[in-house]
Amino acid sequence: MTSETKFGLFIGGRETDGARGETRPVLDPANNRSFAEAAVGSAEDARAALEASEKAFHESWWASDDGARRAKALLRLAGRLEEQRERFALLETRNNGKTLREATGDIGYVVRTIEYVAGLADKLQGETIPVPGSRFDYTLREPLGVTAHIAPWNYPLLLAIRSVAPALAAGNAVVLKPATLTPLSALAFGRLASEAGLPDGILNVVAGAGGEVGEALLKDPRCRSVSFTGSVEVGRRIAALAAERVLPATLELGGKSPVLVLPDADLDRAARSIVQGIFSNAGQMCWAGSRLLVHEAVREPLLAKVKSLAEGLRLGPGVEEGVEMGPVVSREQLDRVLGFVEEARQDGGQVLTGGSKASEGRLAEGNFVLPTVIADLPAEARAVREEIFGPVLATSSFADLDEAVRLANATRYGLFAAVWTKDLSSAHSLARRLEAGMVNINDPPTSFPQTPFGGFKESGIGFEQGLRVVESYTRVKNVLVNFGGPRKKP
């Protein structure tokens, strides 16, 4: 059923309409018109996917010790995705709203992630451990079995495959549930995996409501781990379900990340990166630099630069050449973001620029929010404390480093922080004092498949990416052998 306008679920190596045969229209966030139809899966489809996964895990070659063979299949998959980069980027742009340039970058990141973990697939190994007596001890690293992956809508394919790829490299069979709003790229990816030679049932994609499909996956004894990327609220529910079943869970949740600008910083570079860090992807980034904390000595010049860059951003449908910021993903998200801005005004915030829906001409049809900068908000305002997940920057200032650290850490989140300074000592001491899983010095939010990505505090548990990520989808078994020989060494 999959063409570029109709998308089926992908279970057991084939496309299917799903048990209920239900579909939903997929809206283009740039104009809120339907351009495709996607199958909506059910709990029954989730169970069918688990069954197909378990069968493939036990009966196909995938989970064997031949990591090199898995690596080759994954490299073929990366190659096919690279060849179809434009097609997947277009799907992502039309479904999520992001610019084609951003989407093309996302797909490149997915290709690189698959290549990176493919290189680790044949490097999983155990240890031999000296023990007393006539004994021999060693460890085995085994795949977990069937792993579930639940993804959000802001980087639909990138965040799905960020955890799916290492789980596959470790020899697991996977069931992926993409976000309800943005299932298209993941559904198309299922077919690609099959074409690249992954055995039927090793990668299954079941779109559908989180409360139904997601929960059916986690409650089923065949599911052996969960990787979740999404909001803190749903993350709590996932953790509770995982606890019921004593299931390993990786949680990549939200953020309210501070950007600290010290008086000696290169203000031009800092301003460009601040704008990039909050207005890329229309601000819908878990690690958006959404709180600007600037030293009072450079507050005025920095805010003037940020304001001018924000006002210069070209808004429009992501498919158009030269557009720098697309719409937010849905009308609901638009209303949520504007609700935060309204509340910020009531809390005494001064809207330096933006603060409303873009209503000029054809932009009025879509979910476009003007790039927004708000100053002078009290620390307890919701726009300072809560994740808005839209193009809204809250700014405040500090007098010294202690105050900067106190403000930066005064949040329940701990995903990311950025520091702008040329002073080595301040940079490294802040890197240690900031409570965040990732600290970038003189760089906007930037990550690579080889660098760990994870949050502190309520931003999550565990990590994705990095050299250890494939291992995290395995379990360790210790084997002790008593070979009954002489007790002493000759």
Under DSSP, is residue 382 helix (H, G, I), strand (E, B) or coil? helix
Compute the least distance from the CB of residue 151 to ligand NAD, in Å: 6
What is the Cα–Cα distance from 77 to 70, expressed in whole angstroms?
11
Backbone angles phi, psi at 150, to 5 degrees: -120, 120
Closer Cβ to ligand NAD, 145 or 455, answer by number: 455
Q: Is 223 a catalytic residue?
A: no
Interaction with ligand NAD in 134-193: which residues (CB under 6 A)?
150-154, 159, 177, 179-180
> What DSSP string describes 453-466?
B--EETTEES-BSS
Shortest-Cβ-distance residue relative to ligand NAD: 210
Sole binder of ligand NAD in the list 143, 214, 316, 327 (CB under 6 A): 214
Q: How far apart are the first and last CA of the chain?
A: 70
Interaction with ligand NAD in 17-56: which residues (CB under 6 A)?
none
Closer Cβ to ligand NAD, 229 or 273, answer by number: 229
- Applying CB under 6 A, the site for ligand NAD has a residue count of 29
Contact between 97 and ligand NAD by CB under 6 A: the answer reads no
Tokens of 194: 């099959």
Closer Cβ to ligand NAD, 67 or 156, answer by number: 156
Q: How many helices (H) and strands (E) does the chain have?
A: 14, 23
> What DSSP string describes 39-106?
E---HHHHHHHHHHHHHHHHHSSTTSS-HHHHHHHHHHHHHHHHHTHHHHHHHHHHHH---HHHHHHH
Sole binder of ligand NAD in the list 44, 215, 324, 376 (CB under 6 A): 215
Closer Cβ to ligand NAD, 397 or 459, answer by number: 459
Compute the least distance from the CB of residue 160 to ligand NAD, in Å: 9
Query: Cβ distance 159 to 182 under 8 Å?
Result: no
Beta-bridge partner residues of 121: none
What is the Cα–Cα distance from 94 to 26, expressed in whole angstroms?
9
What is the Cα–Cα distance from 332 to 329, expressed in whole angstroms?
8
Binding mask 372-401 for ligand NAD (x = CB under 6 A): ---------------x-x------------
Q: Which residues are catalytic?
A: 252, 286
Interface contacts to ligand NAD, rule CB under 6 A: 150-154, 159, 177, 179-180, 210-211, 214-215, 229-231, 234, 237-238, 252-255, 286, 387, 389, 415, 455, 460
